Amino acid sequence: MENKHLVSITDYSKEEIFRILDLATDFEKNPNQNLLDNKVIATLFFEPSTRTRLSFESAISRLGGKFIGFTDSSSSSVSKGESLKDTIMTVANYSDMIVMRHPIEGSARWASEVSRVPIVNAGDGANQHPTQTLLDLYSIRKTQGTLDNLNVYFVGDLKYGRTVHSLLQAMSMFNTTFNFISPEELKIPDEYKLFLDKKGLKYYEHRDFSDIISHADIIYMTRIQRERFSDPMEYEKTKNSYVLKNDMLENTKPNMKVLHPLPRVNEIHTNVDENKKAYYFTQALNGVYTRQAIITHILGLKK
Amino acid sequence: MEMNDKKLQVSAIKNGTVIDHIPANSLFKVINILGLDKIKTQMTVGSNFESKKLGLKAIIKITDIFFIDDDINKIALVAPEAKLNIIKDYKVVEKKVVEVPDNIKGIAKCGNPKCITNHESIVPKFTVVNKKKVAIKCHYCEKITDSEHMKIF
């Protein structure tokens, strides 16, 4: 069950997912552990990502490790025209593990085939972002006490949102019932519906974001971006239809939690922040524990 | 077949392979995939024959060339209904149909312009996710390319 790299959430079995979540639970209780003594981890961010990068660097620091890297490709040799393969093969000489974010899809898989040290995918274009998925799973299990038989509602951009697609793939292992709430233009792609059909899982599509959320155990909000719309008029019409406001949470289940991969713009009204059902900032904190778990698991530092 | 024999008016071959039921618009892709542009023996190519199944079809007759199954299956991506007749001494000694393979390496290009295989020199690899209406999933970017958008090297 040991995977040297973490490229795609589908690389991980149920057992390996549980292993990560259990380790993360341990790090939440005791976040400062000097397990990365004398280890160097490269954080290569070919495109900027404040949250993911800081979360990784925080995780490495709390484990007593050192990190090297760059925060966008203009400050690396990529701007001189170096290929990804060459960059990875070189940096693999300087580090014990490479954490990478890259705008091109499939870049992390390719890197894992040329690197002699483990690759952790911190996002490859619109494809995969498995460490986000694992921290989402951690947040869901922690707040619900289980991953089995939950009602999960995805809201917003379900067409391009990679966090939605990866979480859907992972949750499909746990008999989840899915609800997809989105504008027509950003609806969940057919290939994912086909995937759920094949697994025999229930799902429902909605255009209206209304009282249907009363059955939800988890509401997973995402950002709707203007540039995703072919028709700007359509964006203006829909942008305020998928905003979660505090009064909408009144009739939701007591165990229900609102998740969001962040950054948020206006899709969750700030008046939700004080509600006990708002979980997105704690979710971001869980990202540190989950990444500590991933790093130590892959490097075999936790028995 | 009999009806087509009358219409084709291309001579029979003594020894070799006849590839029939190629969609007319896939003819040159088939030629490329099998490397038929490089062979030195006699070859007859016919195209735009009427076919009930395919609309317009093409046929290739190649003298003294016999293919191994792995090579033949490569054309399944562009001509899944193709049929082969192996000819020895003017007689059909064997009929073969192509089989869509489970995995494909280095024949098709990934249809996703943002895929790493379209940016660095990498041999593309795919798993076939639909054999009837051929669709392939990229090993790298995990996106699915269907037969309409498939580009062959």
Tell me the three state secondary structure of residue B129: strand
Q: Point out the least confidently predicted range of A56-60, A244-248, A268-272, B105-109.
A: B105-109
The pLDDT of A229-256, averaged and rounded, is 90
Chain A CB contacts of B119 below 8 Å: 84, 104
pLDDT, residue B71, reads 84
What DSSP designation does B15 have? S
Domain(s) of CATH 3.30.70.140: residues in chain B:
2-97
Between A130-134, A137-141, A208-212, B13-17, the lowest mean confidence (pLDDT) is in A208-212
Interface test with B, best of A83, A109, A119, A197 (most B CBs within 10 A): A109
- The residue with greater pLDDT, A113 or A162, is A113
Of A84, A125, A128, nearest to B114 by CB-CB distance is: A125
Domain map (residue ranges) of chain A: 31-128, 131-284
The secondary structure of A278-302 as a DSSP string is: B-HHHHHHHHHHHHHHHHHHHTT--
Q: Are A192 and A219 in contact (CB under 8 A)?
A: no
Residue B3 has pLDDT above 70, yes or no: no
Q: Does the distance separating the beta carbons of A127 and B141 come in below 8 Å?
A: yes
- Asked whether residue A3 carries a pLDDT value surpassing 70, the answer given is no
- Model pLDDT for residues B72-106, shown as the tens digit of each residue: 888 888 898 899 999 999 999 999 999 888 999 98
Put simply, whether B116 touches A (Cβ < 8 Å) is: yes
Hey, what CATH class is B103-152 in?
A: mainly beta
How would DSSP label each residue in B40-85? -S-EEEEEEEEETTTEEEEEEEEET----HHHHHGGGGT-TT-EEE
Q: What is the mean pLDDT of residues A241-263?
A: 95
Question: What type of residue sits at position A15?
Answer: E
Q: In terms of CA atoms, which chain B residue is nearest residue A113?
A: B140
CA–CA dist B132, B109 (Å, integer): 19
Distance from CA of A257 to the nearest CA of B (A): 31
User: Which of A10, A47, A127, A198 to mutate: most B Cβ within 10 Å?
Assistant: A127
At the fourth CATH level, the homologous superfamily of domain A31-128 is Aspartate/ornithine carbamoyltransferase (3.40.50.1370)
User: What pLDDT sits at residue A29?
Assistant: 98
Q: From B138, which residue of chain A is nearest by alpha-carbon distance?
A: A106
Q: What per-residue confidence (pLDDT) applies to A292?
A: 98
Could you report the per-residue pLDDT of A53-65, keeping only the tens digit for each? 999 999 999 999 9
pLDDT at A72: 85
Residue A129 confidence (pLDDT): 95
In chain B, the percentage of residues whose pLDDT exceeds 70 is 93
| pLDDT tens digits, A115-126 | 999 999 999 998
| Alpha-carbon dihedral A101, A65, A8, A279, rounded to 10 degrees | -90
Which SS3 state, helix, strand or coil, does residue B124 take? coil
Q: What is the DSSP string of chain A?
A: ---S-B--GGGS-HHHHHHHHHHHHHHHHS----TTTT-EEEEEESS--HHHHHHHHHHHHHTT-EEEEESSGGGSGGGGT--HHHHHHHHTTT-SEEEEEESSBTHHHHHHHH-SS-EEEEEETTS--HHHHHHHHHHHHHHHS-STT-EEEEES-TTT-HHHHHHHHHHGGGT-EEEEE--GGGPPPHHHHHHHHHHT--EEEES--SGGGGG-SEEEE-PPPGGG-SSHHHHHHHTTTT-B-GGGGTTS-TT-EEE--S--SSSB-GGGTTSTTB-HHHHHHHHHHHHHHHHHHHTT---
Kindly state the average pLDDT of the residues A27-32. Answer: 97
Closest chain B residue by Cα to residue A114:
B122
B139 touches chain A (CB under 8 A): yes
Mean pLDDT of B28-42: 92
Choosing among 3.20.20.80, 3.40.50.300, 3.30.70.140, 3.10.180.10, the CATH entry for B2-97 is: 3.30.70.140
Q: Which of A217-226, B58-67, B82-91, B141-150 has the lowest mean pLDDT?
A: B141-150
A31-128 and A131-284 share one fold: yes
Q: How confident is the model at residue B1 (pLDDT cuts 50, 70, 90)?
A: very low
Residue entry with tokens 């206006």: A266
- Specify whether the CB–CB gap between A218 and A151 falls below 8 A: yes
Mutate to test the interface with B, among A7, A104, A115, A133 (most CBs of B within 10 A): A104
Q: What is the pTM of this model?
A: 0.88
CATH architecture of A131-284: 3-Layer(aba) Sandwich (3.40)
Q: Is the pLDDT of residue A103 over 50?
A: yes
> Can you tell me which residue has the tokens 């087509």?
B4
Residue A203 — left, alpha, or beta (φ > 0 → left; ψ -120 to 50 → alpha)? beta
